């Protein structure tokens, strides 16, 4: 962003009041009851029409207009900064929601796999031939205290069920 400090200081120091054009090329201000001539746009290398246009522009770019533009620019910058802050906040929330979604997807996939194992065991328990079921490792949770040994037993049970399910899928 451009720093308008010097321009603002110059506008504050300039002759205040309504600026207008007198003659076709002299800019003046009526302020406090008097008339102050501010600039002349009469130049030897500029035609009359261009001098009038230059004087009209200078009168329009008076201190009040410049200060109003600076104030509007500052307000727009503040609004843009606030919108950026809001966007950044919403982006952080969205990123957190996406991370939670990904975690829930992973948990859902693990639960789906466990449900498949459960359904397979349930289906296999209705068979008259229990031979494959006897090949599964036996886990009696009451024999173990929670910890790595119990987790290894359950992991090996999961692996055995997965292997049995894989054999069945190939058949």
Separation of alpha carbons 142 and 140, rounded Å: 5
122 falls in which pLDDT band (50, 70, 90)?
confident
DSSP codes, 76-97: HHHHHHHHHHHHHHHHHHHHHH
Which two structure tokens, joined as six digits, stand for 13? 């120091």
Mean predicted confidence (pLDDT) in 91-120: 94
59 in a structural domain: yes
Taking a C-beta distance cutoff of 8 angstroms, is the pair 67, 11 a contact? yes
145 in a structural domain: yes
Mean predicted confidence (pLDDT) in 61-80: 95
Separation of alpha carbons 7 and 19, rounded Å: 18
168 in a structural domain: yes
Q: Which residue, 30, 51, 73, sits at the end of a domain?
A: 73
151 in a structural domain: yes
> Residue 31 belongs to what domain range?
5-73
User: Would you tell me the crossing angle of helices 5-13 and 63-124 to the nearest 10 degrees?
Assistant: 150
Strands (E), the chain: 18-22, 26-31, 34-40
Q: Which residues have a Cβ under 8 Å from the Cβ of 41 and sit 6 or more positions away?
A: 25, 26, 27, 51, 52, 54, 55, 58
141 in a structural domain: yes
94 in a structural domain: no
Q: What domain count does the chain have?
A: 2
Summarize pLDDT for 15-65 with one digit per residue, the tens.
Answer: 888 888 876 656 767 766 667 777 777 665 567 788 778 888 888 999 999
Taking a C-beta distance cutoff of 8 angstroms, is the pair 17, 55 a contact? no
68 in a structural domain: yes
- Whether the per-residue pLDDT at 14 is higher than 90: the answer is no
């Amino acid at each position: 962003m451009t720093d308008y400090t010097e321009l603002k200081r110059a506008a504050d120091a300039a002759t205040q009041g309504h600026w207008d054009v007198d003659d076709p090329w002299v800019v003046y201000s009526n302020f406090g009851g008097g008339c102050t001539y501010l600039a002349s746009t009469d130049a030897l290398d500029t035609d009359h029409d261009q001098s009038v246009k230059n004087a009209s522009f200078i009168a329009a770019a008076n201190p009040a207009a410049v200060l109003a533009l600076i104030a509007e620019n500052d307000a727009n910058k503040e609004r843009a900064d606030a919108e950026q802050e809001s966007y950044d906040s919403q982006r952080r929330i969205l990123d957190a929601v996406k991370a939670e979604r990904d975690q829930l997807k992973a948990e859902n996939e693990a639960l789906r796999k466990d449900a498949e194992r459960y359904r397979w065991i349930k289906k296999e328990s209705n068979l008259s031939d229990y031979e494959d079921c006897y090949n599964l490792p036996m886990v009696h949770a009451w024999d173990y205290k929670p910890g790595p040994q119990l987790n290894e037993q359950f992991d090996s049970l999961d692996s055995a069920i997965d292997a049995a399910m894989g054999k069945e899928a190939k058949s």
